[in-house]
Chains A and B, each alone.
Chain A
Amino acid sequence: MKTAPLLNAEGLLDEHGDYLFRFALLRLKDSALAEDMVQETLIAAFAARDRYTSSASVRTWLTAIMKNKMIDYWRRMGRENLASDLMESTGQNGSVDDFFDQAGRWVDKPNPYPDPDQALENKQFWGVFESCVSRLKPQQAEVFIAIEVHGMENEEVSKSLALSPGNIWVLMHRARVALSKCLEIHWSR
């Protein structure tokens, strides 16, 4: 009998709660609301556990439930544009076109950060860092957090987000270019 992990609601929370929370937080930008979304999603998932088929990963299934909850939420708030953004979640990847010219040269060459080690001890720096991360496109932010904050491998991230490993490389590159420039502008200058 291999039904145990899915039937166990606490298991779902332990295994996927943080992921769902980030997914919601990046889009709703409100942690109390994001927590509520996680709760609603897990309850809905638990209530519908018989309908889960193993054709999709549990996480993909949960994400789909959460997406619908968020779409409902935005519709209720009269934010139809946000709801439709989420429905076509393949868009919004961003590009690096602003950072390189047509010949592939830096438009604005990166400069070394003045005192990187000291920055990590500085409270103000973390404020800037957070605001730079939150300005990334949602998928870029997700991939960046998965890899650099939680130390996940490319392959793992690709599975959990249902994106190809090639997509992850591209998103990660874009995230790094955008973040490093954002920090350069808002922190070190």
Chain B
Amino acid sequence: MLNCRQASELMSQGMDGKLSLKDRWALKVHLMMCRGCASFMHQIRFLRKAGNRWQQHSPSNPTRLSNEAKKRINDALEDFKNGRRLHNDDKGTSS
């Protein structure tokens, strides 16, 4: 018999890959009897949905570089490649 901890591990694994027939069966039996784990199953499905939509809703806390940041970094790389970022040789010549 699975305990809740093991059941939750299988549920999590099942979200990211395929479970063996035996594990799937054991999990099914456990879920029929355990309300807490059934709720956990709903919760982690919900987490997936939320994860998918996170970026659309939260430009304030990005998980990717913004386009502006990318451009800035790109420019800095460009400058570096062209030898313009050697700050020792290039002290305040432009204003």
Q: Which parts of A173-189 form the interface with B (CB within 8 Å)?
A: 173, 176-177, 179-180, 183-184
Quick one: which of B5, B46, B65 contacts A38, CB cutoff 8 A? B65
Report whether A103 and B74 are in contact in the complex, using a CB–CB cutoff of 8 Å.
no
B69 is an interface residue with CB less than 8 A from chain A: yes
Which one of A69-77, A86-94, A146-154 is at the interface?
A: A146-154
Give the number of residue pairs across the A-B interface with Cβ within 8 Å: 146
Report whether B58 and A43 are in contact in the complex, using a CB–CB cutoff of 8 Å.
no
Could you tell me the distance between the alpha carbons of A42 and B65 in the complex, rounded to whole angstroms?
Answer: 14
**A21-B64, A38-B65, A144-B51 as given contacts; A100 in contact with B4, CB under 8 Å:** yes
Could you tell me the distance between the alpha carbons of A129 and B43 in the complex, rounded to whole angstroms?
Answer: 13
Report whether B57 and A148 are in contact in the complex, using a CB–CB cutoff of 8 Å.
no
B80 is an interface residue with CB less than 8 A from chain A: yes
CB distance from B81 to the nearest CB of A (A): 6
**A13-B73, A149-B55 as given contacts; A106 in contact with B4, CB under 8 Å:** yes
Could you tell me the distance between the alpha carbons of A150 and B41 in the complex, rounded to whole angstroms?
Answer: 21
A78 is an interface residue with CB less than 8 A from chain B: no
**Which residues of chain A are near B84, meaning CB under 8 Å?**
none
**A13-B70, A103-B3, A105-B3 as given contacts; A180 in contact with B51, CB under 8 Å:** no
Report whether A109 and B77 are in contact in the complex, using a CB–CB cutoff of 8 Å.
no
**Which residues of chain B are near A126, meaning CB under 8 Å?**
54, 57-58
**Which residues of chain A are near B17, meaning CB under 8 Å?**
154
The secondary structure that dominates the A interface is helix
**Can you sample 17 A-B contacts with CB below 8 Å?**
A10-B74, A18-B63, A31-B62, A38-B69, A39-B72, A104-B3, A105-B4, A110-B36, A110-B37, A113-B42, A113-B46, A120-B50, A134-B61, A148-B47, A168-B16, A173-B9, A176-B15
| 5 more CB-based (< 8 A) A-B contacts, given A42-B77, A112-B39 | A9-B77, A9-B81, A10-B74, A31-B62, A126-B58
Residues of A within 8 A of B (CB): 9-10, 13, 17-18, 21-22, 25, 31, 35, 38-39, 42-43, 46-47, 96, 100, 103-106, 109-113, 116, 119-120, 123, 126, 129-130, 134, 144-145, 147-151, 153-154, 168-169, 172-173, 176-177, 179-180, 183-184
Residues of B within 8 A of A (CB): 3-6, 8-9, 12-13, 15-17, 35-37, 39-40, 42-44, 46-55, 57-58, 61-65, 69-70, 72-74, 76-78, 80-81, 85
